[in-house]
Structure 1
Amino acid sequence: MDVRDVDIPGLKVIQPKIFGDERGFFLETYNSQRYHQAGLPATFVQDNVSFSCRGTLRGLHFQNPCTQGKLVMVLQGEVYDVAVDVRLGSPTFGKSFAIYLSSKTKQQFWVPAGFAHGFMVTSDAALFVYKCDALYSPQNEFSLAWDDPDLGIDWPDLKPILSAKDSNARRLRDFPESQLPVY
């Protein structure tokens, strides 16, 4: 596998080795030893699957306390995946990184604890999977506004399909410090 750090420390793009022939392909989506050597947690405690139609935007979500890191991947379709550093005191606080993830490239994206995360489906539909290093804690989950102008995220569609929770999300500047993770 090839692991690439991006301009926000902690975020990683992972290209698994793909072994393919006329029958199809094989790839290893997780190996605790190799991924731990690459700087990811050695233990994941929860796996999730999301299926969504074109234009659906899920996020930007984060937990605090009980922060949660996510190893994300698309099994079918394509998404525009975004992580925002929401850690108080971080030199990259409020900065975002975005990447297209698809079933064609099979890339994975590591989003560590302390980042808000979300994605928008850019294909007809997408099957999105992710491993979490902490359990989901709904009472500690927050939604950051996908269209917060201070974040400057260049979403591929400005009229997404949103949940009620995400429609009512707050701008980063409106979160009390007590609700944000600390760097």
Structure 2
Amino acid sequence: MKVRPANLPGLWVIQPTLYTDARGTFFERFNAMAFEKLTGEVPTFVQTCESHSTNANTLRGLHLQLAPKAQGKLVWVQQGAVKDVVVDVRPESPTFGQHEVLELSEKNGLQLWIPSGFAHGFLTLTDNTVFQYQVTDYYSPEHERCIAWNDPDLNVNWGVMGQPIVSEKDKKGMSWVDFKKSAQNQVRV
């Protein structure tokens, strides 16, 4: 496994080591000892989730959970490709409000470690995309927040073609300005 820091502090881009022979390919999706050696962290995953998007240009996000149910996430694409977006929502962070965009796909095999304190979303680049992730705390509706994916202050270049396919919940995401007002007392890592 190779690990490199992303541009936002705390994010790690992970490239699993592939072992290929005549039978096909094998790799470790996650190894706690190797992860700790490379990043200094050992997440404990309590839930594994999967989302299947039938169509390209499906947008999910920007989601997070507040403390005490904040979640760290290890994310990857099992099938297809996505533009993955992460926004730093840690009020004390020097990169508060900044975002990072990465392409994750079944072809590049990249994973992204997103610790708590970040909002996350993705745009499918292919039909029939399967996106998987493990989280460090259970889903908690009362702690969930959604920031508007198209907020002009965040100015994320999603690369959408026309109008993306977005859930009703994501269409009603709060503005970055409103989130910042509430974040000072709510976002803890």
Using structure 1 for the length normalisation, give the TM-score.
0.95
TM-superposed CA distance for 1:8, in Å, is 0.8
Report the CA distance between 1:25 and its aligned residue.
Answer: 0.7
Q: 1:169 aligns with which of 173, 180, 189?
A: 173
Deviations 1:137-163 (Å, cap 9, x if unpaired)?
111000011111111211121521111
AA partner of residue 181 (structure 1): V
Q: Give secondary structure in 1 for the equivalent of 2:165.
A: coil
Q: Which moved more, 1:102-111 or 1:31-40?
A: 31-40
Match of 1:3 in 2: 3
Deviations 1:16-68 (A, max 9, x none): 00111343211100111111223343411111111112111111001112110
| Amino acid paired to 2:183 | E
The residue identity in structure 1 corresponding to 2:25 is: F
1:100 partner letter = E
Distance 2:188 2:12 in 1: 20
Contact 1:18–1:25 (8 Å) recurs in 2: yes
CA distance in 1, matches of 2:66, 2:169: 17
Q: Distance in 1 between matches of 2:135 and 2:32?
A: 13
* 1:121-136 equivalence runs, <5 A: 121-136=124-139
Does the aligned pair in 1 maintain the 2:10–2:114 contact within 8 Å? yes
Question: Which residue pairs with 2:95 in the alignment?
Answer: 92
Contact 2:66 2:188 in 1 (8 A): no
Corresponding position: 1:52 with 2:56 = no
Partner Cα separation in structure 1 for residue 79 and residue 172 of structure 2: 29
1:181 match: 187
**What is the deviation of 1:180?**
4.0
Aligned equivalents of 1:179, 1:103: Cα separation in 2: 38
Return the alpha-carbon distance in structure 1 between the equivalents of residues 42 and 97 of structure 2: 24
Q: Are 1:145 and 2:148 an aligned pair?
A: yes
% identical equivalent positions: 45
CA contact (8 A) 2:19 2:26 kept: yes
Tell me the distance in 1 between the aligned counterparts of 2:137 and 2:184.
Answer: 20
Distance 1:161 1:42 in 2: 32
Q: Distance in 2 between matches of 1:179 and 1:20?
A: 49
- Aligned-partner Cα distance in 2 for 1:143–1:81: 16
Cross-structure match for 1:35: 35
- d(CA) in 2 for partners of 1:12, 1:118: 16
Which ranges of structure 2 fall in alignment gaps of 5 or more residues? none
Instruction: Please give the TM-score of this superposition, normalised by the length of structure 2.
Output: 0.92
